[in-house]
Chain A
Amino acid sequence: MSATTYSYDGNGSNSNHLDYLHSPKKYKGIFNWIFSTDHKKIGILYLISMLTFFAVGVIFGFLMRLELIAPGRTIMDAQTYNQIFTLHGVIMIFLFIIPGLPAVFGNFFLPIMIGARDVAFPRLNLFSWWLFVIGGFVAVTSLFLPGGPADTGWTFYIPYSVRTSTNVIPALMGAFILGFSSILTGLNFITTIHRLRAPGMSWFKMPLFVWSLYATGWVQILATPIVGITLLLVSIERWFGVGIFDPALGGDPILYQHLFWIYSHPAVYIMILPAMGVISEIIPVFARRTIFGYRFIAFSSIAIALVGSLVWAHHMFTVGMSGTAMWLFSLLTFLVAIPSAIKVFNWVATLYKGSIELEPPMLFALAFIFNFSIGGFTGLMQGALSLNIHIHDTYFIVGHFHYVMFGGTGFGIFAALHHWFPKMFGRMYNKRVAKVSWLFMFVGFHLLYFPKFIMGYQGMPRRYYDFLPEFHTYQIISTIGSWILIIGLVIMFINLIVALRKGKAAPSNPWGGATLEWAIPSPPTHENFEKIPVIEKEPYDYSHYELEEEVKN
């Protein structure tokens, strides 16, 4: 096989070319990374910074669960508890789940999957990462300022957010900066997909992960600025005493909620769409079948982005909106479930009569489908007005969003990590340990979050520091679940970190994938491709696929 043809069964040795991790240095040492405009390095930078913030978020979650293991005060007072759940939310949402997949795996793999050498605006890409780090930093400084971090919840509802003496503005400004990071990434990806596809890569030959990034990019661009201005307005109101939302000055707290959720609901689609894209990548590989209903999945991504932008007020069913608004938003909420369900049906249909291999990425992907189904279904339940009155602001909601955000996107991130790790780092991790970590995480996750549905339905309010004795047993189960989950997370990360140094060298296509990233060496060269390929086949085309035994190790 000549060095310039791309095949999916070669060992893809990098001996002829330096890989991107060791490419010629423009700067020395760490500057080679933090000033790099290589999309792959930027993806890794995001990975490291994001996982750091995730660890902090996990610690806060751990502390919250520890507090909740018994009624009354356990390890902290109520004020501290409010601050911890606020920061837990801000960090997990703005620093982990929203940027997560696009910033890490979108950056690393989008150009490769479409046969490009980089994104459309590489310097802007680096700037996005810098904004990410700065925004995270600004948000976290609130931990160390007098007054402590905000205690408003990550939703910063008026009027409390303009009354509390805690450090709301750093949190708001941090989120504002992070919003820009998100916007610029979306802008970059949209332009890249329009302009840099390799010859022959028509829209309907793009991998589905790319489709999901495209839909996500539009939401990032069109929705994020709304929360940007809203958070800015709250900051201005706090700082200058301008009347905007504060009811004492004539403002309308419900208007704040509208503006806040106009972004924050589509934000959850920024979170889930790329994760769904990852699942669409993994399932065909480990079922060794082409995806069922490619176009349906592609269009459903667009549909979710579109309809998902029309449902925001389902977060406000109990605040006193007009009856018209309530039934309208409830109806739209039901409708948005349809394209999501289509994806689930298509994934399952892909599995049918497939040749299934339960490698770690597949385990996480299957867990995603299971978790997301529960999370999505409970979301649908919440969209029903009558039920919503009963369960709004209870643990039921907390259960729901953790199932979709963590059980969904979180597991999606871990799936992507296990799927693309060999490609990104040129090493394979210990699969057995990975599967063990998965088991801990799966069991821990459900022990931690399923009881929340029960507690919520029975009336346990969310964001409460204390609770009635009737919930005690469930709270204990939930806390124990958090410990098991964290053990799983720790095992997973140790496994991957060890593999970075000691893992066996990975071939270019350890899983037998059929998209472009598997046709280049592991890790990729700086330029991704020696020559830009011409695309003839559809993605996930396994029709003529033969996998050599020795490759499949």
Chain B
Amino acid sequence: MEHKNAHNHIVGYGTYIFVWLTLVTLTALTVTAASFDLGNFSIVIALGIASIKGLLVLLVFMHLKFDDRIFRIFTFVAFLTLTIFLVLTFSDYLFTR
């Protein structure tokens, strides 16, 4: 059951450095955003930026973008599971008890 060699793709140094620069920029962005009072939006922005950073690490540094599709599917399932746990737990906390 050999998968066709998506696995042979070597990511270049340039790509990695570009991603790193993006990550650093996003970090600067999130620190800056935290200095403003955005009320309920603060957490959304903070988590949003963190998610983008996380996605970059997953897709490029961890090679998900270049690997066989099954790895992306698996990872999606894992994150989906966590999300479902969170959402269903909040069905208890968000609504009147």
Contacts and interface: CB of A to CB of B under 8 A. Distances in A.
B96 interface: yes
A490 interface: no
Given A194-B1, A324-B92, A329-B88, 12 more contacts: A195-B1, A218-B77, A258-B92, A309-B81, A310-B84, A313-B88, A322-B91, A322-B95, A324-B91, A325-B95, A328-B88, A328-B91
Contacts of A195: 1
A254 B84 contact: no
What interface size band does chain B fall in?
A: 10 to 19
A328 B92 CA distance: 10
Interface string B9-37: 00000000000000000000000000000
B92 A222 contact: no
A323 interface: yes
A397 B86 CA distance: 27
Interface in A288-327: 309-310, 312-313, 320-325
Contacts of A218: 77
A343 to B, nearest CB: 23
Interface string A186-211: 00000000110100000000000000
Nearest to A255: B89
A325 B92 contact: yes
A138 B52 CA distance: 42
A312 B70 CA distance: 28
Contacts of A486: none
Given A195-B1, A197-B1, A324-B91, A226 B85 contact: yes
Contacts of B88: 310, 312-313, 325, 328-329
A325 B84 CA distance: 13
Nearest to B70: A194
Interface SS, B side: helix
Closest A-B pairs by Cβ, 8 of them: A322-B95, A324-B95, A325-B92, A325-B91, A321-B92, A222-B81, A322-B97, A258-B89
The winner among B70, B84, B95 for most chain A CB atoms within 10 A is B95
B97 A321 contact: yes
Contacts of A194: 1, 70
Interface string B67-97: 0001000000110010011001101111111
Interface string A245-265: 000000000110010001000
Nearest to A327: B91
Interface of A: 194-195, 197, 218, 222, 226, 254-255, 258, 262, 309-310, 312-313, 320-325, 328-329
B96 A323 contact: yes
A334 to B, nearest CB: 16
B94 A322 contact: yes
A321 B89 CA distance: 10
24 contacts: A194-B70, A197-B1, A218-B77, A222-B78, A222-B81, A255-B89, A262-B85, A262-B89, A309-B81, A309-B84, A310-B84, A310-B88, A312-B88, A313-B92, A320-B97, A322-B91, A322-B95, A322-B96, A323-B96, A324-B94, A325-B91, A325-B95, A328-B88, A329-B88
A322 B93 contact: yes
Contacts of B89: 255, 258, 262
Contacts of B91: 322, 324-325, 328
Contacts of B96: 322-323
Nearest to B90: A325
A329 B89 CA distance: 10
Nearest to B84: A310
Nearest to B88: A310
A499 to B, nearest CB: 39
Contacts of A310: 84, 88
